[in-house]
């Protein structure tokens, strides 16, 4: 055997060995987890995705709890885009936090994956579920068990620039037809470059506007291919064609849309209550107000919420629950929510919605829609598909009817997977 072939053979053996070790390491695919309970060291680890200014009121609240109870709370901020992935990795590694503040619509998925604890015994003993708005409370229920407690809520409403509407001589719209007409008139009268601003960006975030229109038309995410979904897509198409809604909304996220409104480049905007403080701080001289979302067949808005959960295998579950319970006291929420710029998830916190703008949002909480059941677990995908339908229609790649039908087929496929 030549020297070269010997070396080659040795290298091959090493490679095969490496591969074998790799495969052996693969073992049964996936992680292995949560049997490793944490040590129950009495320190409550608390993961959240409230960055910058949003994190300040939360940290103040946690500090207050530590001062009062003497329990150390270790908060960790993880950016929203990385939050679920980090939580999943922590679950696979058995290093979950004691408390995770998650997007409400991820609750089902997290519960089914075994990432969060069943809180039913705690919740039943606590007995305050009746204080919560039904849609929000339902977002924490999975197969009849309580896996999450609503932390706060938010809904969408219509912001309008009073000066722009006066200049264009339009009234605050109360129906979607009036909204379309008002948006067109604002643009055509040059009162503002855009009649309406909202997010239409790629992904679930950009589906909010078309979903709100679908809900108002009596539809739902699960039956988007029906008349309501087609009507919603046609409405968006009409508004972009008339110039009332810039085609550029397909590249806007919610912050971009609010920036356009705050800068006076849009006469109206659809957004959540989170934007209230932003406008007050960045455009103190702007004459603006908020109206409930326009109606069509029905009056509906979309719930945006966050839930408090306990990580699977937490060794400090009792202490974590004590903190959750403390955070949900109306007296604490009254102090926290206005600073956090959000709405209460329960209806016994009147002090959190004393200003008229915030009250307009709070009044809509009873009409708030949220995905539930199997749709909750697949809502991110379904909303992404709805946004793609919107893009197809606006770009002229598909008619509203075809886009809605294709989306329905894709949603059905996703729900079946």
91 scored as a contact of other proteins (CB under 8 A): yes
319 scored as a contact of other proteins (CB under 8 A): no
190 scored as a contact of other proteins (CB under 8 A): no
145 scored as a contact of other proteins (CB under 8 A): no
257 scored as a contact of other proteins (CB under 8 A): no
Shortest gap between Cβ of 95 and other proteins (angstroms)? 12
> Of these, 75, 198, 250, 386, which contacts other proteins (CB under 8 A)?
250
Which CB sits closer to other proteins, 220 or 265? 265
Binding mask 14-33 for other proteins (x = CB under 8 A): xx--xx-xxx-xx-xxxxxx
What is the footprint of other proteins within residues 100-139 (CB under 8 A)? 109, 112-115
380 scored as a contact of other proteins (CB under 8 A): yes
| Piece of 42-50, 229-237, 366-374, 392-400 that binds other proteins (CB under 8 A) | 392-400
Which CB sits closer to other proteins, 212 or 250? 250
| Piece of 214-222, 298-306, 358-366, 381-389 that binds other proteins (CB under 8 A) | 381-389
The 3-state secondary structure of the chain reads: CCHHHHHHHHHHHHHHHHHHHHHHHHCCCCCCCCCCCCCCCCCEEEEECCCHHHHHHHHHHHHHHHHHHCCCEEEEECCHHHHHHHHHHHHHHCCCCCEEEEEHHHHHHHHHCCCECCCHHHHHHHCCHHHECHHHHHCCEECCEECCEEEEEECEEEEEEHHHHHHHCCCCCCEHHHHHHHHHHHHHCCCCCEEEECCCCCCHHHHHHHHHHHHHCCCCCCCCCCHHHHHHHHHHHHHHHHCCECHHHHHCCHHHHHHHHHCCCEEEEEEECCHHHHHHHHCCCCCEEEECCCECCCCCEECEEEEEEEECCCCCHHHHHHHHHHHCCHHHHHHHHHHHCCECCECCCHHHHCCHHHHHHHHHHHHEECCCCHHHHHHHHHHHHHHHHHHHHHCCCCCHHHHHHHHHHHHHHHHHC
Which CB sits closer to other proteins, 56 or 93? 93
235 scored as a contact of other proteins (CB under 8 A): no
Residues within the interface to other proteins (CB under 8 A):
3, 6-7, 10-11, 14-15, 18-19, 21-23, 25-26, 28-34, 85, 88, 91-92, 109, 112-115, 193, 201-203, 246-248, 250-251, 378, 380-381, 384, 388-392, 394-398, 410, 413-414, 417
């Amino acid at each position: 055997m030549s020297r070269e072939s010997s070396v080659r053979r040795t290298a091959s053996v090493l490679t095969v060995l490496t591969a074998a070790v790799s495969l052996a390491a693969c073992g049964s695919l996936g992680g292995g987890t949560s049997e490793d309970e944490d040590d129950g060291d009495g320190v409550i680890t608390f993961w959240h995705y409230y960055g910058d200014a949003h994190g300040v009121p939360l940290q103040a609240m946690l500090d207050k709890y530590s001062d009062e109870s003497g329990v150390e709370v270790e908060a960790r901020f993880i950016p929203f885009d990385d939050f679920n992935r980090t939580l999943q990795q922590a679950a696979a590694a058995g290093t979950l936090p004691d408390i995770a503040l998650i997007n409400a619509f991820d609750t089902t998925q997290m519960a089914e994956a075994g990432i969060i604890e069943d809180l039913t015994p705690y919740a039943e003993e606590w007995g305050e579920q009746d204080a919560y708005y039904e849609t929000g409370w339902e977002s924490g229920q999975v197969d009849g068990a309580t896996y999450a407690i609503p932390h706060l809520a938010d809904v969408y409403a219509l912001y309008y620039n009073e000066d722009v509407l006066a200049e264009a001589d339009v009234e605050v719209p109360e129906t979607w037809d009036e909204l379309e007409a008002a948006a067109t008139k604002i643009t055509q009268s040059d009162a503002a470059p855009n009649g309406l601003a909202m997010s239409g960006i790629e992904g679930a975030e950009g589906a909010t506007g078309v979903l709100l229109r679908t809900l108002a038309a009596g539809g739902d995410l699960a039956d988007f291919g029906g008349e309501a979904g087609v009507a919603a897509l046609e409405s968006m198409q009409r508004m972009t064609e008339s110039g009332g809604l810039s085609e550029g909304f397909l590249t806007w996220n919610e912050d971009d849309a609010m920036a356009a409104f705050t800068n006076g480049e849009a006469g109206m905007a659809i957004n959540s209550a989170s934007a209230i403080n932003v406008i007050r701080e960045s455009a103190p001289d702007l004459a603006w107000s908020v109206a409930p979302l326009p109606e069509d067949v029905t009056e509906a808005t979309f719930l945006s919420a966050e839930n408090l959960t306990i990580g699977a295998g937490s060794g400090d579950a009792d202490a974590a629950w004590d903190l959750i319970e403390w955070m949900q006291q109306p007296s604490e929420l009254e102090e926290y929510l206005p600073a956090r710029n959000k709405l209460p998830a329960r209806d016994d916190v009147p002090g959190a919605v004393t200003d008229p703008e915030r009250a307009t949002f709070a009044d809509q909480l009873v009409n708030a829609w949220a995905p539930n059941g199997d749709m909750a677990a697949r809502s991110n995908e379904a909303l992404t598909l709805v946004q793609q339908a919107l893009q197809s229609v606006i770009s002229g790649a598909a008619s509203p009817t075809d886009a809605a039908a294709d989306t329905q087929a894709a949603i059905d496929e996703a729900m079946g997977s």
